[in-house]
Amino acid sequence: MQQVNCELLNDPFEIGGQKLRSRLFTGTGKFSSHELVPQIIEASGTQVVTMALRRLDWRNPQENILNYIPKGITLLPNTSGARTAEEAIRIARLAKAAGCGNWIKIEVIQDQRYLLPDNPETLIAAEQLVKEGFVVLPYMSPDLGTARRLESVGAAAVMPLGAPIGSNRGLQTRELIRILIEEISLPIIVDAGIGRPSEAAEALEMGAAAVLVNTAIATADQPLEMAHAFRLAVEAGRSAYLAGLGARRDQAEASSPLTGFLREE
């Protein structure tokens, strides 16, 4: 019996010079208490945690979410609340000044009903923040033109939405995300909309580099068990993606079942 190729399954990806093993990013919002956050981090195996700077309660240490995030975890502060590129840029600078590191998830939202991102403003903010030395991960509507421009201004990844934030509707934008995966060489991290572990697995099977899941974990009846379920799903999805690619490569070299007859001449 052939052994499972563990090399294949251990494939870190890189963002901003940092190697990440876990392809599941999680959040800190919507949980019933800050105390849950470190437990979720452990159960999900995540290495990157996003947090809204607007929720950073630096006046009350007991309420400060930063005190609940274990060392070694990369913080991904987001610019939630920003309505324009300028506001996003300033929130990013505040995040850095508050000791949240130099990663930033740009969220520019001018629509409170659907919370859909504003791509043009996001691009402006991304260009400026890259110049200022941030590792920029923009939350965006999956549009190829915008993703190309984000790549050219130096974004570290792009984070297209699967469906509106908190909607738990899964990969409604599947076709557009598939195109981004094909065309953009940056890691594609599916953010927003993923409601079930199977949807996270699907994103990874398609070739997404990672997924960010918050609502589905935070609002589950049993958040820790759900965090674990997402961990397994993401690992399964990634393994399937790699296994698929590997298999195709192997076959192409081993034989040509349809055109092999040509060589017999």
Partner 1 sequence: MFFDEFKSWQKELTHYSFEQVSQGDVERALGHERLDFMDFLALLSPAAKLYLEPMAQKAHRLTLQNFGKSILLFTPLYLANFCSNQCVYCSYNIKNKILRRKLSLAEVEVEGKAIAEKGLQHLLLLTGESRQASSPEYIADCTRILRPYFASLGIEVYPLETQEYRELYAAGIDTLTIYQEVYDEDIYASVHLAGPKRIHRYRLEAPERACEAGFSGVTIGALLGLGEWRKEAFFTGLHASYLQKTYPDVEIVVSAPRMRPHAGSYKPQYPITDAELVQILLAYRLFMPRGGITLSTRESAPMRDALLPLGITKLSAGSLTSVGGYAESTETGSAQFEVSDERSVEEVVAMLRSKGYQPVFCDWVNLRDRRGA
Residue numbers at the binding site for partner 1 (CB under 8 A): 29-34, 52-57, 59-60, 63, 81, 83, 87, 90-91, 93-94, 97, 109-115, 166-168, 215, 218-219
Neighbours of 249 (CB within 10 A): 10
Element (H, E) at 77: strand 74-78
* Minimum CB distance to partner 1 smaller for 116 or for 232: 116
* Minimum CB distance to partner 1 smaller for 43 or for 56: 56
Q: Which of 19, 30, 71, 105 is catalytic?
A: 105
Shortest reach from residue 151's CB to partner 1, in Å? 27
d(CA 115, CA 131): 27
* Minimum CB distance to partner 1 smaller for 22 or for 215: 215
Shortest reach from residue 14's CB to partner 1, in Å? 30
* Minimum CB distance to partner 1 smaller for 87 or for 205: 87
Q: Please, are residues 159 and 137 in contact by the beta-carbon 8 Å criterion?
A: yes
Shortest reach from residue 168's CB to partner 1, in Å? 6
Residue 7, SS3 per DSSP? helix
Shortest reach from residue 127's CB to partner 1, in Å? 19
* Minimum CB distance to partner 1 smaller for 18 or for 141: 141
Q: How far apart are the first and last CA of the chain?
A: 35
Shortest reach from residue 249's CB to partner 1, in Å? 42
3-state secondary structure 181-245: HHHCCCCEEEECCCCCHHHHHHHHHHCCCEEEECHHHHCCCCHHHHHHHHHHHHHHHHHHHHHHH
> How, if at all, do strands 24-26 and 18-20 pair?
unpaired
Using the structure block, give the residue that is written with the tokens 């940092």. Answer: 18
258, two tokens: 């349809």
* Minimum CB distance to partner 1 smaller for 37 or for 206: 37
Using the structure block, give the residue that is written with the tokens 């093993």. Answer: 21
Q: Please, are residues 196 and 219 in contact by the beta-carbon 8 Å criterion?
A: no
Q: Please, are residues 152 and 183 in contact by the beta-carbon 8 Å criterion?
A: no
Shortest reach from residue 45's CB to partner 1, in Å? 22
For residue 105, indicate whether it is catalytic: yes
Closest CA to 10 of 19, 18, 99, 1: 19
Active site residues: 105
